[in-house]
Amino acid sequence: MTTPTVSVLLEAKAELGEAPFYDPKANELIWVDIDGMSVNFTSLDETGGSNSINRKLQLKEKPSIAIPCKSGKGLLVTLGRKLCIINRDNGNILKELFSVEPEKENNRFNDCKCDRLGRFWGGTLCPPSGPPPFPTEGNLYSYDGVSVKHHLSGIGISNGLDWSLDGKTFYYTDSLPKIQIYSFDFDETSSTISNQKVAIDYSTSRDLGLPDGLCRDSEGKLWVASPNGKSNVTRWDPVTGEKLLELQVPVVKPTSCCFGGPKYDTLYVTSGLFNAGPEEIEKFPLSGSIFSVTGLGVTGLPANLFDDSKCM
């Protein structure tokens, strides 16, 4: 593997930058600032670098993801505990698809993705507001455009998720209190998961930080962003649990990552200022920015779009 180069793509000062998604049709990196309540579109050049143009959609609720729909008619976004399709140009809600957990006012959706068939998968969290024990009020859901299916409960902070190259394994993160990434057998036909195992155990070392957002590369390995860790973006073999590569991004809290650019050879990393003290921000003034990592010697694959054919 070649020597990676970490560069600033955009000095964003995001409170909680998350959920990067490369849109090849527009050659844009879509990402959200959850606490800033915005969806952002960062235009890229022909190499996958920034052309310094960033468009922001300011919303009225906290989005945790923004995924283009297959029809091209809008963006799938979470807004608090709701899943909606919004207008990509002005942020207006085109359709509210469903909402969850009306009795849990503090909960909200966090990391979410779509599987190969375009079905939504995502989990909720109750933000920790004090010392341990941390709340475990989160749940994992899926949605096929018609019905919502509940898969897991008792989750602390529902976070990064993805699938193996063959689509037979589902990877899913509980950042707190478990501090682990799990693997499940995935039945694509029935949209069910089973046989939960620990794939990557972050609880073994404080130096690893907390597993947050993740993505899979073209070799089936996982890239994980880790707030508060010494090596804050790490490549893992999810089959063996072996750590393969460590990257240093000059921020306090890297939050998620995805591959993109015209050749899918750039890793984009989001970050945030959330819960960072003045000394940390002074030490890492680029916190909240968006980064690009090149020279990794490995590529990613196109991310899955949301199939809105049954719900629009």
> Phi and psi for 280 in degrees, rounded to 5?
-65, -40
Mapping DSSP to helix (H, G, I), strand (E, B) and coil, where does residue 33 land?
Answer: strand
Distance CA 147, CA 304 (A): 19
Q: Which two tokens stand for residue 283?
A: 């030490």
Contact between 75 and 39 under an 8 Å Cβ cutoff? The reply is: yes
SS3 53: strand
Q: How far apart are CA 224 and CA 103, in angstroms?
A: 32
3-state secondary structure at position 254: strand
Under 8 Å between Cβ of 239 and 256: no
Chain position carrying tokens 């507001």: 129
Q: Is 195 annotated as a binding residue?
A: no
212 is catalytic: yes
Q: Is 110 annotated among the ligand-binding residues?
A: yes
Residue 18 annotated as part of some ligand binding site = yes
Helix or strand or coil: residue 159?
Answer: strand
307 within 8 A of 34, measured Cβ to Cβ = no
Catalytic residue among 212, 217, 307, 308: 212
Specify whether the CB–CB gap between 74 and 65 falls below 8 A: no
Type of residue found at 207: D
Query: What is the DSSP pairing of strand 253-260 with strand 148-155?
Result: unpaired
Q: Known binding site for substrate: residues? A: 108, 110
Catalytic residues: 212
Q: Known binding site for a divalent metal cation: residues? A: 18, 159, 212
